[in-house]
A and B are shown apart, each in its own frame.
Chain A
Amino acid sequence: MMNAHVRTEASEAARPASSLLEVKNLTTEFRTERGTVRSLHSVSFGLGEGEALGLVGESGCGKSVTALSIMGLLPQPAGRIVSGEILFNGVDLTKLSDREMEAVRGKDIALIFQDALTSLNPVLTIERQITEAARRHLGLSPAAARRRAIEFLDLVGIPAPDKRISDYPHQFSGGMRQRVMIAMALVCGPRLLIADEPTTALDVTIQAQILELLQRLRKELSMALIMITHDLGVVAGIADRVNVMYAGHVVETGMVRQIFKNASHPYTAGLLGSIPKLDSIRGSKLQSIKGTPPDLANPPPGCPFTPRCSHAFDKCAEPPPRSSPEPAHAAECWLLEAGVNTADSRGLS
């Protein structure tokens, strides 16, 4: 049964039937004082209409750079897309002019960040900020834009939206500001919402409110979602599919249950083992991953996880192929190629 893996081309493993977004071999680099840093290495994935994709990984793994690349918001002039395609409804976003991209951004694809306070303009009322997008992208009159803004503030659970719309960002609490930012992102009815660590700065009870809200809105507005987070618990609750990223590579992709119940890449398994389980025995040792993530300016040859991997062997000095242990599930690891299932062997190491 372990040998039932099938080698597939990079993007074929987990492609949904109708593709809203198709990222193909995306490679992004940054120029830094220490030379060129490759933040994304030929990243490929697809996203269907209304689907929720979780992008997980630790700091520097490339999950936010993926979002910025899609949005055309890479810091200039340091960051640039070296190669690859980002097809949104069949249109390659990397080929669009700044102006054309502006029309997509905020209208068809919206982005929300971790820190609502820095993404809202402190000297403008909420009304100005929400209606601006609605007027520009939807061509609404000021009165119609205001009505739509109030409707969306109500939708995200702001009490008394017709009054609060005249307030300034500082008059809202952290959780409420996050709601305002979500309303602002959604007001033009995007097909895709990218949420970059939207609940990381929030307390756990407020996080629960925002996660419920995103789940509800996704269904009500039948919108696709890319959820970027380091919190595997958040992903388990919201995502249909998960990409696990490490040092700029998508090392594993699969349906949410496949990732959590049958992790194939040693990094995914290590990440899951690092989290205290609810039934863990007090004082038991966590299965931590040794060492630290690689320096992206000077990555190891072959599989980027090799220096930290307890399964590493001589093959790992070469880039691993993408293998698919089951439909919709794929990982870049030589062990899979060799027919060894990491999920089975991880308890032994």
Chain B
Amino acid sequence: MMNVHLMHNNSASNRPVLEVANLKKHFVIGKSFFGGKPLTKLKAVDGVSFAIGAGKTLGLVGESGCGKSTVGKTILRLYNPTEGSIRVLDQEISALKPKAMRDVRRSLQMIFQDPYASLDPQMTVGRIISEALEIHGLPKGQSHASRVKELLSLVGLDPVVANRRPKEFSGGQRQRIGIARALAVEPKVLVCDEPISALDVSIQAQVINLLQRLQDELGLTYLFIAHDLGVVRHFSDRVAVMYLGGIVEIADRDRLYADPLHPYTKALLSAIPVPDPDVEQQRRRILLRGELPSPLNPPLGCRFHTRCPFATDRCREEVPALVAVAPGQEVACHYWQELRGVEGRPNQSILETEK
């Protein structure tokens, strides 16, 4: 039953290692008192599609509440998807039972944001890592200890630390332990959920360098979820921008940063503070009005229209589809052609008609 493997004729190396199609995750918020119909649906992820090739990195960016972490957790099946397909190494995993999912997780692992909360404080580091080996039924005994040492050196820690507990480590070192644990089962795909946002700048750079080295050495495929567009640019081959549960633009890294087409991508890029006073003093930020609408009650039509400086009546009614507009670039905006090269100049008439 596990071998739902469908090897197609195309050469295996070109096929995506992780492929997500029309993925949806809706949470039901509250039930009526008598247990009747669910009251509200929170559409955290509402129709997301992308594919990542072997050894590549897709950066998934967006602001808090856009659904990027939910995408990661749903791929790991920490949440059950409401709809859509998730394929890992050509195996459809969206409906697998927990036991079958455990086998899949040998190829699919996750690194979490908070290195303080994701390691059991009672266990030694060696135990934390060897537990992963046991759960996946990997050979017991002496070989565990040597594998733990090997993994600790792989992530740049001294193997003697295996006897210590998480509290004796700094944030960056704990993140290394989390990475060692994820790598214990020799996964092919790593979902990295904001792996560096809790760390100081100088430590962030260490972890980024480590993740890059591991990708080169082990041929890992990454889904890199982050809100920091500078880091994502440094790290990714392709970048997908999410807004309120959907991807508004996805493109090869250089294309996205050089020629962003969606007004939200443009605003997001213009909002990143650049550590260069000359750039900062000359640049004009595209200031978006207002804040992210509640995903409980998302706007009709284009999700972005309430904050978009260019929104028209069409945007308020018709949902724009994500369409390919250039090789390797897809965008979900009715007016991407008209807006090409246009900076985000606020449209006064729109500013006035909406509050």
**Chain B CB within 8 A of A207 CB:** yes
Number of interface residues of B (CB under 8 A): 47
Q: List residues of B (211-232) whose CB comes within 8 Å of A's CBs.
A: 212, 216, 227, 229-231
Expressed in whole angstroms, the minimum distance between the Cβ of B345 and any Cβ of chain A is 15
Expressed in whole angstroms, the minimum distance between the Cβ of B105 and any Cβ of chain A is 27
Asked if residues A260 and B275 are in contact (CB atoms below 8 Å), the reply is yes
B257, B270, B273, B292 pick with most chain A CB within 10 angstroms: B273
Q: Given the complex of chains A and B, what is the CA–CA distance between A257 and B275 in angstroms?
A: 10
Select which of B203, B270, B275 is within 8 A of A275 by beta carbon: B275
Expressed in whole angstroms, the minimum distance between the Cβ of A161 and any Cβ of chain B is 13
Number of interface residues of A (CB under 8 A): 49
Q: Given the complex of chains A and B, what is the CA–CA distance between A325 and B173 in angstroms?
A: 36
Q: What does DSSP make chain B's interface, helix, strand, loop or mixed?
A: helix
Asked if residues B63 and A205 are in contact (CB atoms below 8 Å), the reply is yes
Asked if residues A278 and B274 are in contact (CB atoms below 8 Å), the reply is yes
Expressed in whole angstroms, the minimum distance between the Cβ of B276 and any Cβ of chain A is 6
**Chain B CB within 8 A of A214 CB:** no
Question: In this complex, what residue of A is CB-closest to B61?
Answer: A204
Select which of A206, A207, A274 is within 8 A of B202 by beta carbon: A274
In the complex, chain B residues whose CB is within 8 Å of the CB of A175: 291
Asked if residues B275 and A212 are in contact (CB atoms below 8 Å), the reply is no
Expressed in whole angstroms, the minimum distance between the Cβ of A306 and any Cβ of chain B is 15
Q: Given the complex of chains A and B, what is the CA–CA distance between A211 and B231 in angstroms?
A: 21
Question: In this complex, what residue of A is CB-closest to B307?
Answer: A205
**Chain B CB within 8 A of A97 CB:** no
Asked if residues B201 and A58 are in contact (CB atoms below 8 Å), the reply is yes
Asked if residues A209 and B287 are in contact (CB atoms below 8 Å), the reply is yes
Which of the segments B113-121, B180-188, B233-241 contacts the partner chain?
B233-241
Q: Given the complex of chains A and B, what is the CA–CA distance between A173 and B63 in angstroms?
A: 14
**Chain B CB within 8 A of A233 CB:** yes
Q: List residues of B (18-76) whose CB comes within 8 Å of A's CBs.
A: 63-64
Asked if residues B291 and A173 are in contact (CB atoms below 8 Å), the reply is yes
Asked if residues A208 and B275 are in contact (CB atoms below 8 Å), the reply is no
Q: Given the complex of chains A and B, what is the CA–CA distance between A232 and B205 in angstroms?
A: 14
**Chain B CB within 8 A of A292 CB:** yes
Expressed in whole angstroms, the minimum distance between the Cβ of A191 and any Cβ of chain B is 25
Select which of A59, A207, A233, A270 is within 8 A of B275 by beta carbon: A233
Question: A203-B64, A205-B268 are contacts. A232–B277 as well, Cβ < 8 Å?
Answer: no
Expressed in whole angstroms, the minimum distance between the Cβ of A122 and any Cβ of chain B is 20
**Chain B CB within 8 A of A286 CB:** yes
Asked if residues B288 and A205 are in contact (CB atoms below 8 Å), the reply is yes
Asked if residues A236 and B233 are in contact (CB atoms below 8 Å), the reply is no
Q: List residues of A (161-180) whose CB comes within 8 Å of B's CBs.
A: 173-176
Q: List residues of B (266-292) whose CB comes within 8 Å of A's CBs.
A: 267-268, 270-281, 285, 287-288, 291-292
**Chain A CB within 8 A of B355 CB:** yes
Question: In this complex, what residue of A is CB-closest to B281?
Answer: A237
In the complex, chain B residues whose CB is within 8 Å of the CB of A223: none
Q: Given the complex of chains A and B, what is the CA–CA distance between A84 and B277 in angstroms?
A: 32
Asked if residues B63 and A204 are in contact (CB atoms below 8 Å), the reply is yes
**Chain A CB within 8 A of B172 CB:** yes
Select which of B203, B206, B234, B280 is within 8 A of A276 by beta carbon: B234
Asked if residues A206 and B291 are in contact (CB atoms below 8 Å), the reply is yes
Expressed in whole angstroms, the minimum distance between the Cβ of A200 and any Cβ of chain B is 11
Asked if residues B271 and A271 are in contact (CB atoms below 8 Å), the reply is no
**Chain A CB within 8 A of B209 CB:** yes
**Chain A CB within 8 A of B204 CB:** yes
Select which of B208, B227, B253, B292 is within 8 A of A286 by beta carbon: B208
Asked if residues B287 and A233 are in contact (CB atoms below 8 Å), the reply is no
Asked if residues A236 and B287 are in contact (CB atoms below 8 Å), the reply is no
Q: 1/0 contact trace for A248-266 toward B, CB 8 Å?
A: 0000000011001100000
**Chain B CB within 8 A of A280 CB:** yes
Q: Given the complex of chains A and B, what is the CA–CA distance between A256 and B273 in angstroms?
A: 14
Asked if residues B209 and A285 are in contact (CB atoms below 8 Å), the reply is yes
Asked if residues B212 and A285 are in contact (CB atoms below 8 Å), the reply is yes
Asked if residues A288 and B273 are in contact (CB atoms below 8 Å), the reply is no
Q: Given the complex of chains A and B, what is the CA–CA distance between A277 and B262 in angstroms?
A: 23
Asked if residues B236 and A236 are in contact (CB atoms below 8 Å), the reply is no
Give 11 pairs: A residue, B residue, CB < 8 Å, sorted on A: A58-B202, A203-B64, A207-B273, A233-B275, A234-B273, A236-B277, A260-B277, A272-B275, A278-B274, A287-B205, A288-B208
Additional pairs, 18, CB under 8 Å, beyond known A237-B280, A286-B205, A292-B172: A58-B202, A58-B203, A176-B291, A205-B63, A230-B201, A234-B273, A235-B275, A260-B276, A272-B275, A274-B204, A275-B201, A276-B208, A276-B235, A285-B209, A286-B208, A288-B206, A288-B208, A292-B203
7 closest A-B pairs by CB? A233-B273, A276-B234, A288-B205, A274-B205, A237-B280, A203-B63, A58-B200
